[in-house]
Amino acid sequence: MPDALPPGPPPGPRDPGDAWAYGPDGTKAWGVFGAAGLLVDDGRGRVLLQHRVEWSHHGGTWGIPGGARHEHEDAVTGALRESAEEAGVPLDGVDLRHTSVLDLGFWTYTTVVGRASRPFEPVIADRESLALSWVPVGEVDDLPLHPGFGESWPALRSAIGVMPHVVVDAANVVGSVPDGWWKDRAGAASRLVDGVTALAAVGVPAPLLDLGFTRWWPRWTVVLEGDARGATSEPGPGVSVVLADGSGDDAIVAAASAVVAAGDAPVVVVTADRELRARVEAIGATTRGPSWLRDQL
């Protein structure tokens, strides 16, 4: 979804990324370091779309806020920055879902998909929009869409409601490596919670969740039992900690049941316990062994 330069010099200093990238055959796309945009839904069946100003590339069509990435800027940061600059999307107002990457070899466009964590109204903040609107998902196809967005929309639409959730059997994961964890169960649990919090911030590769696209940001629930309940780490965004009053297995089944009932899917339970795996698979969850998580931490 390349953007064209506006007529005349742009206001303020330009980033080195604000220029054309050229392919071997002369094809050009806006953004020396690639480009990124944000597709955000409001949790009520609407997505935020931008009616592009006439002088832009494919002007007059509808697409998502986005633009050229800055030098040394990752795609998620670039998409959030551009959507804040163009549409007033609050930087702390979006829960990430997944990314989808169009790779032309010499240039990439990353669609960052998220859900609004709180209500907000878009604001036209620069010269690149004729209008900004929350559009019902079922009405998007009725609009004249930017060709790039129009091509990617069917797949993006099919995943609007997908929300993976990972439930971690902390005792099983911690106990899978003989690193002295039994000397300080609370400390070992704290380190695990810290690791999961760090992972929640960067997401996981899509194939690890048997999902499409490129990368996903699942929700996480870490279940602590016994002495591990004394863990002092504070979970970050997207991570919750459950302290089991009694059986850790029962608490894990309850946690998995709750997120399945809430509509999160797929639900993945990380444990090597055979009986527990059978119990959570019976309620619709899938399972992974401790190494699945440890390899990502």
Sequence ranges of the domains in the chain? 20-158, 165-294
Contact call for residues 224 and 244 (beta carbons, < 8 A): yes
d(C-alpha 164, C-alpha 171), whole Å: 22
Give the pLDDT of residue 5: 37
Helix 274-282 / helix 248-261 crossing angle, nearest 10 deg: 20
Question: What's the pTM value of the predicted model, to 2 decimals?
Answer: 0.90
Residue 42 has pLDDT above 90, yes or no: yes
Strands 267-270 and 286-288: parallel
pLDDT tens, 254-295?
999 999 999 999 999 999 999 999 999 999 999 999 999 999
Percent of the chain with pLDDT over 90: 89
pLDDT tens, 79-117?
999 999 999 999 999 999 999 999 999 999 999 999 999
CA dihedral 206, 204, 35, 70 (to 10 degrees): -170
Candidates 3.40.50, 3.30.70, 1.10.357, 1.10.3470; correct CATH number of 165-294? 3.40.50
Task: Compute the average pLDDT of residues 66-75.
Answer: 95
Give the pLDDT of residue 10: 46
Residue 2 has pLDDT above 60, yes or no: no
Residues 6+ apart with CB under 8 A from 4: 30, 55, 56, 57, 59
Mean pLDDT check: name the lowest of 7-11, 150-154, 158-162. Answer: 7-11
Residue 151 has pLDDT above 70, yes or no: yes
Give the pLDDT of residue 6: 40
Residue 137 has pLDDT above 90, yes or no: yes
Contact call for residues 31 and 68 (beta carbons, < 8 A): yes
CATH architecture assigned to 20-158? Alpha-Beta Complex (3.90)
The highest-confidence range among 58-67, 121-130, 182-191, by mean pLDDT, is: 182-191
Q: Which of 166, 281, 176 lies closest to 222 in space, CA to CA?
A: 166
The strand ranges marked E within 170-280 are 204-205, 215-216, 219-224, 239-243, 267-270
Q: What are phi and psi of 133, to 5 degrees?
A: -155, 145
pLDDT band with cut points at 50, 70 and 90 for residue 13:
low
Give the pLDDT of residue 9: 39
Percent of the chain with pLDDT over 70: 96
